[in-house]
Amino acid sequence: MKDTVGKGAFVLTISGVICKFFGALFRLPLTNIIGIEGIGIYQMIMSLYSLMLIFVSSGVTNSLSKLVSSARAKGEMFKLGTYLRYAILFSGGLGLFLGLIFAIFSGQIATLQGIPTGKVSYFLFLVLLPLGGLIGVYRGVIQGYENMTPTAFSQIIEQVVKFVFGLLLAYILSVRGSSAGVLGAFLGIAISEFLAFLYLSIIMNKNIKIKITKNNDFQTKNEFFKASLPLSISGAITPLTHALEALVIVSLFVKAGFESSTATSLYGLQTGVVGAILNFPLIISMAVAVSLLPKISYLSARQDIIEQQNIINRSFSFMWFLLIPLVLGIVSISQDLFPLIYPNVIQGYLKIAVQLTQLGAISIIISSISSFLISILQAKGFFYHALTFNIIGGTAKIAILIILAQIKEVAIYSISISNIVMFSIISVCSLIKLGKLVKIKLFEFSLPILSGIVMFLAVKILLLSISGVLGVLLAVLLGAVTYFVMAYPLTKEFSLIIIRKFIKNK
């Protein structure tokens, strides 16, 4: 694995672990502060916020990462100021516009979701969305220089500040009800976004120093929007499906025969309880995908096919090596873990939570493959192919969700099943388009799976005799040792890579 991808993935993985740690810490007390119904309200609002944030930032971040790296490879540095100008106008302006829409129609949106008391939180979108857009712009430019450290630090700032102020304000306001507690949590997020933006502004002014160009170079302008628009829409497909899911899932569960409060709690269980733990392995895939995009873009601009294949193979092997034990490890300890971290809200839901974790694990693995392949498509300039594949997969997801969520026997599994279908479609279509560019070695693909299965069995046997906190801690230790010993050839290889990078940095 080349230094830029390996180092970038390593930095983002470490920051991702820290962020997920604080994210999990945030969710756990927040769930206990505002209750499982309150976390359901939080997740419904968060799903729409995540969707809008994708529109205003994700596409621009990815497009700038590609465009800046390509311009560097071709020696066209004069384009960077124009890219930055249009990126700020696009993301900042779109963020402000969408924030106004949500503020004006907050009551109607909250009522449609079945959470009329949650409308006040939507007013914060006026601040959150423009800030999120500008943060995305700065991250994209810096990533285009294959420097992932500022992105990592800004993410840590977001999570730590959100943890402190979000929980504090949620606790203070929760005396007025769960919706007020949710508002406090989002106020904490607003503070965290402002401080992250301030940090990235300092980095941009100190290290990058790109002057915003005021000329109207049509070709450069066209390059920016040709990349940003399809990437913004493509990146929004998955959160859009989650937003639609949040809008209709409670009413669909009610049609299936559940009480309204039970339906909200089941959604909160899926997204706020199980999701908070099961999404942890996505740190790995996202770190690799973000680091891979500018490097493949750079090599693609230089038409170096062999090196692209090598980078893709090594990057996937690194992701797969860490992804499999994380997913199987979470599944293996889930039955003992949930009662420890959610003692007040898991009662009566433990069996369902474990089942959702088992099914969701498949979704997480396929989702990771999907994001990896989509990143390559974007790096190669196949923007509209990525958009098309996401639309096809997203449409299939919503159709299956609507059908299954109205059948009481399978309703609670409808979200996981629909996600599996969506990401499978995206992955297969992407592989067909990329063809021989993606070559994964069978040994590096199969060894983590076999090692993960042995690890899973060892952990389950241990937990049969030892339970509680001690059992979980020993299970994690045993699982890690078992996996890394079983996968020794890859353990040795990736350990040496990390050690060499550490010594080189020193």
Q: Could you tell me the sign of the dihedral formed by the alpha carbons of 302, 303, 309, 312, in that order?
A: positive
pTM for this entry: 0.77
Looking at residue 325, its pLDDT comes to 94
Q: Is 447 helix (H, G, I), strand (E, B) or coil?
A: helix
Q: Calculate the alpha carbon distances from 425 to 218, 404, 406, 418 in Å.
A: 36, 18, 23, 11
Looking at residue 462, its pLDDT comes to 94
Q: What span, in angstroms and rounded, lies between the C-alpha atoms of 381 and 393? A: 20
Mean pLDDT of each 10-residue bin along the chain, 506 residues long: 55 71 76 80 83 83 83 79 86 93 89 79 92 92 83 89 91 84 91 94 82 68 80 79 81 87 81 80 80 80 84 89 93 90 74 90 94 90 90 94 91 92 96 89 93 96 90 94 93 74 53
Q: Name the CA radius of gyration of the chain, rounded.
A: 22
Q: What is the dihedral of CA 386, 281, 450, 2, to 10 degrees?
A: 60
Looking at residue 270, its pLDDT comes to 82
Q: With contact defined as beta carbons under 8 Å apart, do 85 and 214 qualify?
A: yes
Looking at residue 458, its pLDDT comes to 95
Q: Identify which of 423, 388, 424, 421 has the alpha carbon closest to the alpha carbon of residue 403.
A: 421
Q: What span, in angstroms and rounded, lies between the C-alpha atoms of 174 and 179? A: 7
90-94 contacts: CB < 8 A, separation 24 or more?
90/60, 90/133, 90/224, 90/225, 90/228, 91/56, 91/57, 91/60, 91/133, 91/134, 91/136, 91/137, 92/130, 92/133, 92/134, 92/137, 94/55, 94/56, 94/129, 94/133
Task: List the domain boundaries for the chain.
Answer: 3-440, 441-506
Looking at residue 98, its pLDDT comes to 94
Provide the 10 A C-beta neighbour count for residue 450. Answer: 12
Q: What span, in angstroms and rounded, lies between the C-alpha atoms of 29 and 40? A: 14
Q: Could you tell me the sign of the dihedral formed by the alpha carbons of 484, 427, 23, 135, in that order?
A: positive
The number of residues in the chain equals 506
Looking at residue 87, its pLDDT comes to 87
Q: With contact defined as beta carbons under 8 Å apart, do 90 and 81 qualify?
A: no
Looking at residue 2, its pLDDT comes to 46
Looking at residue 10, its pLDDT comes to 64
Q: Is 445 exposed, middle or buried (0-12, 13-18, 19+ CB in 10 A)?
A: middle
